Homo-oligomer: A and B are copies of this chain.
Amino acid sequence: MLDKQEKIFKALSDKNRIRIVKMLQKKSLCVCEIKDVLKLATSTVSKHLSILREAGLIVDWKDGKWINYKINPAPDSLVANALLYTQLQIEDDETIKNDRKLINCVDRNILCCN
């Protein structure tokens, strides 16, 4: 239980991962859309997503060519409260607000050309 709590905090202890969670709390996204906002290599974004997934914060599902990520819709209580905390905090942070503007403009059909 302590281990699980540590894992949750560790997952959220990186600026880019906080940004990802705050984005997903507004909208489901695929890897290349997140990559476009964070300006990181695809493999790095994928790694961040796997850390968030392993902590139980997010889930993914296939949709044609793409793998979408969203906030875990059925979290246990530890995760649920961590997500609630994250959702309520830093809502008016400039980076977060800008990220949220960007995700409304991204088009995966244009972005995703490896």
Q: A-side interface residues toward B, CB under 8 Å? A: 1-3, 5-6, 9-10, 12-15, 18-19, 78, 81-82, 85, 88-90, 92-96
Contact = CB atoms under 8 A, between A and B. Distances in A.
A89 to B, nearest CB: 6
A12 B15 contact: no
Number of identical protomers? 2
Given A5-B18, A5-B90, A78-B90, 19 more contacts: A1-B92, A1-B94, A2-B15, A2-B90, A2-B93, A2-B96, A3-B15, A5-B89, A5-B93, A6-B13, A6-B15, A9-B12, A10-B13, A12-B13, A13-B13, A78-B89, A81-B85, A81-B88, A81-B89
A22 to B, nearest CB: 9
A14 B2 CA distance: 10
Contacts of A92: 1
